Amino acid sequence: MARTPKFDWERIRAEYEAGASQSELSRRYGVSRKALQNHIAAEGWTQDVEPAIHRKVAEKVAGIVAGSDPQKKAEAIDAEAERRAAKVHQHQEEWEANKAVSDEAILKRDFELAKLAKITAETIKIRQDGERKAFGLDPKEAPPPVAPGDELRKLTDEELDASIARSQARIAQAAAELSAARRGEETPGGEG
């Protein structure tokens, strides 16, 4: 006869990784601190939620749901690959257009056109670097691989969604502060 687990270790782990203390979990679930510490050590529990958030974001961006059927997963992966390939093609076209302006400036010995080509190239590079990061086009910048069923970083959807929402709010605030700083304005909640 199979033994029924006495404790909901997945839920305990999710709460621990979301920041609950060992003492708090021990009281809430009636599990001994020693058993809790054994699970933490054996399964590599951590209170750093960033890897779990990155995994969850990658799944949502690619349209992959853990446990989804293989056909839907393959379609989602193919669609994401197409989206990224289109972005790479767009980048190539932008550089070709910039090269044409640069070549024309050299041919005509037009200093103003050469300055325009240089400024445009710098702008393209800055924007494309950001897009490459956002689209995960560079391996060093790519989100961690999606591994449905990765039990080492498992959090509940609600906990991950809440953490993602907090991160998005921080990013929006930072973007607003940067934009205001560029305009020389004072930012709400920040210094101008």
For 134-143, write each residue's pLDDT tens digit: 877 776 654 5
For 33-51, write each residue's pLDDT tens digit: 999 999 989 988 887 766 6
Torsion of CA 99, 121, 131, 191, to 10 degrees: -170
Task: Extract the residue ranges of the chain whose pLDDT is less than 50.
Answer: 1, 142, 146-149, 151-152, 190-192
For 99-124, write each residue's pLDDT tens digit: 999 999 999 999 999 999 999 999 99
**Domain map of the chain by residue range?**
7-47, 68-148
